[in-house]
Structure 1
Amino acid sequence: MFSKQEAQQLKKDFWTAFGKSFPRKWILYDTKVKDMAFKFSVDNKKAEVSLDIEMKDEIFRNAYYEKIWSLEDILKDFIGEFHKEEHFSLENGKIISRIWVQKPGVSVFNKNTWQEIFEFFYDKMNGFEMFYYEYEDFIKDV
């Protein structure tokens, strides 16, 4: 087990190593749609790449989700199999819509899995971005 400080340092080292392994500017929060962002996340059991639609107005959130969901088969061509949840509950209780891919069996605390996570992050986020750039005008026209 790691102390809180050791865990924080490992996480910091992880993100620094990822940035050095795959140096590039990702879209992330720069989707040009307020409260819609691409995210990387990793913990002690899995890594995820997601598209989070976080609008407070449920009508707009659902409209964006439905737009993206209408492109389901095309999205699969870019990122492979994925999970989706229209009413995803975050740990803080906030309800968002989320589309994500997951890699189980890896850990931010196990340096032996870092390269596997980095490659997963790069491959899946790159696929999400290519999809978004290709269909951005359609998605944003809500």
Structure 2
Amino acid sequence: MYSKEQASQLRQEFWTTFGQYMRPVLSAEGLRINWINYKTGVRNIAFKMDADNKRASVGIELNHADPELQELYFEELKNFRTLLHNTLEEEWDWVLHTSDDSGRTVTRIFTEIQSVSIYQKEDWPKLISFFKPRMIALDDFWSNAKPAFEA
């Protein structure tokens, strides 16, 4: 088991490594992008990657404080469901109104893998192979869907 400090250091090291690995990858629009802190450009819509000692997940999070507005965004995203799944080449889970780690109500469209640990460096290639194509596909999807959410 790792101390809090060691765990924090390993998480930071992984995300730094992932960021360096993704640095040469340009966005769908040919621009440099911060893949770790991806900015959708639309308030209350975020692309999130997460990993802990058991699993990793990547997805779209709708985090507006008003659950009704979350539902509105969710319904709008449903209009793009086929485009999203075709771009990702896989289907993701769609969960309206769940809780995040802080207890806030959020809505998530995501996928995850089990039996990987951010604290085990031998799992890092699996994590990178999981995150990389999905973030690139999310960016590609978003370059087409974003105009519908900017209004």
Match status 1:138 vs 2:148: yes
Relative to the length of structure 2, the TM-score reads 0.85
Relative to the length of structure 1, the TM-score reads 0.90
- Identity percentage over the alignment? 28
Question: What is the match of residue 2 of structure 1?
Answer: 2
CA contact (8 A) 2:67 2:97 kept: no
Question: What is the match of residue 103 of structure 2?
Answer: 93
CA contact (8 A) 1:29 1:36 kept: no
Match status 1:13 vs 2:13: yes
User: Where in structure 1 are there 5+ consecutive unaligned residues?
Assistant: none
Amino acid at match of 2:20: K
Aligned-partner Cα distance in 2 for 1:26–1:77: 24
CA contact (8 A) 2:54 2:116 kept: yes
1:39-91 CA-partner distances (Å, limit 9, x unpaired): 11110111111111111122321111111112212211122121111111113
Amino acid at match of 2:147: D
How far 1:97 moved relative to its partner?
0.9
How far 1:114 moved relative to its partner?
0.2
Give the CA RMSD over aligned residues.
1.6
Closer/same/farther in 2, CA of residues 55 and 101 from structure 1, 3 Å limit: same
Amino acid at match of 1:65: F
Counterpart secondary structure, 2:137:
helix
Aligned-partner Cα distance in 2 for 1:81–1:44: 24
How far 1:29 moved relative to its partner?
5.1
User: Where in structure 2 are there 5+ consecutive unaligned residues?
Assistant: 26-32
CA contact (8 A) 2:49 2:131 kept: yes
Question: What is the match of residue 61 of structure 1?
Answer: 70
Q: How many residues align?
A: 141
Match status 1:70 vs 2:79: yes
Q: Which runs of 4+ in 1 moved over 4 A?
A: none
Amino acid at match of 2:108: R
